[in-house]
Structure 1
Amino acid sequence: MGKYFGTDGFRGEANVSLTVDHAYKVGRFIGWYYGKDKPEGEKCTVVIGKDTRRSSYMFEYALSAGITASGADAYLLHVTTTPSVSYVVRTDDFDCGIMISASHNPFYDNGIKLINGKGEKMDEETILKIEEYLDGDVPELPLATRGDIGRTVDYAAGRNRYTGYLISLATRSYKNMRVGLDCANGSAWMLAKNVFDALGAKTYVINNSPDGTNINMDCGSTHIEKLQALVKAEHLDIGFAFDGDADRCIAVDENGDVVNGDLILYVYGMYLKDRGKLINNTVVTTVMSNFGLYKAFDEAGIDYDKTKVGDKYVYESMVNNGHRIGGEQSGHIIFSKYATTGDGILTAIKLMEVVIEKKMPLSKLTSPVVIYPQVLKNVRVHSKPEAQNDPDVKASVEAVAKKLGDDGRILVRESGTEPVIRVMVEAGTQEICEKYVDEVIAVIKEKGHAV
């Protein structure tokens, strides 16, 4: 990760750590970099989407100004989802794409996500070059003049085509299905209902009135209790909650119980295996997936790969090994046959496929998985590597792992964005988890690593 860009783009509080000047310069560099080797008369094209945050309009204009000042054309999808930008980039032959969003963060944060011409997250080499430009470590870029100045183009048609693509992926009508949707007052606020209505569902939608400041506010995939209440109150068959840019999906079954990313991976992984379509017999997870998921996969004879936390690493494993499905507990699920990134609405469509094709409620499909209690605590430290590699800390971790045996696990890892060590234990009871997490944290503190 670089100075500005983390695993999910350049993110920070709008006009504090992420400013319009940053956005303008990112646009300047992108427009110049992808246009410099174009044949005479051919322009670089960049497609831009945004979520519903108040500052997203500001950043859209700043990025567009930078792109066009460098002689490239900016195509505006307006309010849309991150996966739609990825889809449009790769299907409409754009040089790259930009999504303006801070995902599940509060409205006053925002972010710039960069997407390459294949619809994937931008490579590290290009991002480092952008960061050098942001820091003034490279000569100033030439400004386009006269007929070489770029233009902005309304490209809502691209978003509409993506909606059509999602609808085309459904294998059956949703007629007689009662579906709840929590759109988080974000990118999915119109899109999700349009898709489910077109497929014949009776939709019950909440949090689809964005005002620029209510995105993710007590709603969406990070506040699932609102959707749970809706499903129970209206006796719905199923519910889906998205995050701010709709690249995540958390489901709720007909009983109002939460079906997180781990359970979604199990349900669809089993569905693929039953149909002989689980390529490599493998589902990609991260190290934070629940111990109960792995036990259920072992029981079902399904293999799994464990990556570092981040959908970026999940996707890398899928591409490098040809796997079909992977994701995170948080609801980032990637279906490599259909998309290059997590897509919340696509995930909902694929879950609907299993429920309808198997003629089983979601609660029945998830019942073989016993989710283990989990306790995760963070410790702020002076040095992450020193704390993690301390012999006494390592010994305490090994001792806990030995005590847990086959009935749980411990994971100690460094945060990718904060000066924090995360200690996580999964075991048969909450009390056991608390006890062993506190044991390891006590050693970290005794050795003087804690701030």
Structure 2
Amino acid sequence: MGRLFGSDGVRGRANQDLTAELALDLAVAASHVLGEGGGQRRLRALVGRDPRISGEFLECAVIAGLASTGVDVVRVGVVPTPGLAHLVRAGDADLGVMLTASHNPMPENGLKFFRAGGWKLDDATEDAIEARMLEPWQRPMGAAVGRVSDAPQLVDDYVHHLVTTLRTVTQDNVSLAGLKVVLDLANGAAHRTAPAAFRELGAEVVVINGKPDGTNINDRCGSTHPAELQRAVLEHGADLGIALDGDADRAIAAAADGDIIDGDQIIATLALALHDRGLLKGDAVVVTTMSNIGLDHALNARGIRVVRTDVGDRHVMKAMRDGGLNLGGEQAGHVILRDLVTTGDGTLTALLLMAVMADTGAPLADLAAVVRRVPQVLINVPDVDKHRAATDTEVLAAVAAANAAVGSRGRVLLRPSGTEQVVRVMVECEDADLSRAVAEGLAAVVAERLSLRSAAH
């Protein structure tokens, strides 16, 4: 069996790859590893989930695992991932577990773990949890087992946190009155929290895809499928649109003309706003290898450095901590403001973006135009053995040929997905036609050489 943890927790098809038994075992091991050093006191954990139906039985399994080790468990219910992280931090809990597959649709689900303080786990801690799953343990009995309680009202505390955080950052004078926003909530975890926060701050809100039924999360909607958002912005004459994903840790935007504003452009807009106020620490931002080189050009011109990391918000956060920086994120819409949050928060990101619009009086399209995106082609190649992407000789030769084709005018990236059996091919070059041709050629080699279908035969 390969490593259970991917780039963002443990993920798989619910009740097939990710079973109740696995969820229980992971919870037991996590309580042992994350509870080390706690002495004899009783540990406390928060458990939340997104609305997908498999989260109901997986939640029960996680709670059973934690309580069986003597951990007191608070069941929060449906809550955004950043909401659970905040509540772990604000409530001084010892750990948190979020049941979500983020932007993936049904039947996927997953587990994200948070340690005390609301921080995601590093690789070493994840490895320790996997190792602990194989070890025997002493089971408590009687009054020593954990107790389970329900606290759905904590979700309202998260909404209050969003509103007060924005008011603190903007020195209490922020108002989104006069701005009309369409919120695409991906039928996900923020269906109640996001509209409440925007309305409390004065925005006029139009909600689409805000009625989760347990099966429709991320189903042709949200941050990975923004076409409906674009149409709704135009239909309602909104100033902008915001699309969250299923667990609301990422956000992308649409300008008033319907054009998509991605994470790179959002990061640039926030970076310049912070820089102008002297609040951008180190005059630098952290992004991943997937971010467009146009972001570097835009920020470098204003004296702002761009630091790149591997894909994954954990890597972004680590680079931010190591460099003492306070802004970073990913092109897909994860944005982390380290002074304010411990993980990406799509709702807070969107609120800050609207605050910049309100403060400057500028439309979103004008703010985002600072980034002139270099043509970038991204092709996801499914049903392949992603683990061989770095070793197959013909794939490596194709990558070398692709790099030679774009030369100094661009770059080529081949990246196995951290959450799916997919290899991502990215080619970036000033020549759009060349980018497309090189990307399609490389993707064809990956599909042929790494195909799971051919391997099965």
For normalisation by structure 2, the TM-score amounts to: 0.90
Alpha-carbon distance, 1:248 to partner: 0.5
Give the structure 1 partner of residue 234 of structure 2: 232
CA distance in 1, matches of 2:127, 2:318: 19
Q: Aligned letter for 1:82? A: T
Q: Is the 8 A contact 1:116 1:123 kept in 2?
A: no
SS in 2 for 1:410: strand
Are the structure 2 counterparts of residues 393 and 217 from structure 1 closer, same or farther at C-alpha, using a change threshold of 3 Å? closer
Contact 1:327 1:334 survives alignment (8 Å): yes
SS in 2 for 1:331: coil
What are the ranges of 5 or more consecutive residues in structure 2 without an aligned counterpart? none
Cα 1:387–1:420 shift into 2, 3 Å: farther
Instruction: State whether structure 2 residue 142 is matched by structure 1 residue 146.
Output: yes
The one of 337, 359, 370 equivalent to 2:339 is: 337
Residues 49, 147 of structure 1: alpha-carbon distance in 2 compared, 3 angstrom cutoff: same
Write the deviation string for residues 97-131 of structure 1: whole angstroms up to 9, x where unpaired.
11000001112111010111121112333322332
Alignment of 1:405-424 (within 5 A): 405-406=408-409, 408-416=410-418, 422-424=424-426
Unaligned runs of 5+ in 1: none
Q: Structure 2 matches for 1:234-253, cutoff 5 A?
A: 234-253=236-255
Worse-matched range after superposition: 269-278 or 117-126: 117-126
Structure 1, 244-253 or 299-308: larger mean CA deviation: 299-308
- Aligned residue number for residue 156 of structure 2: 160
Count the aligned residue pairs.
443
Residues 115 and 2 of structure 1: CA distance in aligned 2, closer, same or farther (over 3 Å): farther
Distance in 2 between the 1:181 and 1:442 partners? 37
What do the CA deviations read for 1:343-402 (whole angstroms, capped 9, x no partner)?
000101110111111111101101222222222345646833333798844642442242
TM-score normalized by structure 1?
A: 0.91
Match of 2:28 in 1: 28
For residues 248-306 of structure 1, the C-alpha deviation after alignment (integer angstroms, 9 at most, x for no partner) is 10111111111110110111111112222221111111111112222222333321011
Aligned to 1:399: 404
Q: Secondary structure at the match of 1:227?
A: helix
Distance in 2, matches of 1:13 and 1:54, equals: 12
Q: For the residues of structure 2 that align with 1:126 and 1:391, how far apart are their CA atoms?
A: 32
Determine the C-alpha separation between the residues in 2 that align with 1:237 and 1:444: 42
The percentage of counterpart residues that share the same residue type is 39
Residue matched to 2:86: 87
Three-state SS of the structure 1 residue aligned to 2:342 is coil
* Residues in 2 aligned to 1:8 and 1:445: alpha-carbon distance in whole angstroms: 25
Whether 1:104 aligns to 2:131 is no
Maintained 8 Å contact 1:31/1:68: no
Greater Cα offset, 358-367 or 375-384 = 375-384
- Asked whether the equivalents of residues 11 and 419 of structure 2 are also in contact (C-alpha less than 8 Å), the reply is no
Indicate conservation of the 8 Å contact 2:402/2:412, yes or no: yes
How far off is 1:443 after superposition?
7.7
For each residue in 1:9-67, what CA deviation from the matched residue of structure 2 results, as whole angstroms up to 9, or x when unmatched?
11111110001111122222334445565444x21111111100001111111111111
Q: Once the 2 structures are TM-superposed, how far is the Cα of residue 436 of structure 1 from its aligned partner? A: 2.7
Q: Secondary structure at the match of 1:220?
A: coil
Q: For 1:236 and 1:5, how far apart are their aligned partners in 2?
A: 40
Once the two structures are TM-superposed, the CA of residue 146 in structure 1 deviates from its matched residue by 1.3
Structure 2 Cα separation of the partners of residues 388 and 268 of structure 1: 42
Aligned residue in 2 for 1:10: 10
The alignment partner of 1:301 has SS state of coil
Counterparts in 2 of 1:37-76, with a 5 A limit?
38-40=38-40, 42-76=41-75
For the structure 1 residues 323 and 362, does the alpha-carbon distance in structure 2 shift closer, same or farther, using more than 3 Å as the test? Answer: same
**What is the identity, as a one-letter code, of the residue corresponding to 2:62?**
L
Contact (CA 8 Å) 1:396, 1:443: kept in 2 or not? no
Query: Which of residues 204, 212, 230 in structure 1 aligns to 2:214?
Result: 212
Does the residue aligned with 1:285 lie in a helix, a strand or coil?
A: strand
Distance 1:341 1:31 in 2: 21
Shift of 1:169: 2.2
Q: Contact (CA 8 Å) 1:32, 1:71: kept in 2 or not? A: no
CA distance in 2, matches of 1:285, 1:165: 26
1:221 maps to 223
State the AA in 1 paired with 2:320. Answer: M
1:243-392 map, 5 Å: 243-377=245-379, 380=384, 383-387=388-392, 392=397
For 1:231 and 1:440, locate their aligned partners in 2 and report how far apart those are by CA, in whole Å: 36
Structure 1 residues 107 and 416, CA gap change in structure 2 (3 angstroms): closer
Q: 1:445: Cα distance to partner?
A: 9.3
CA RMSD of superposed structures (Å): 2.5
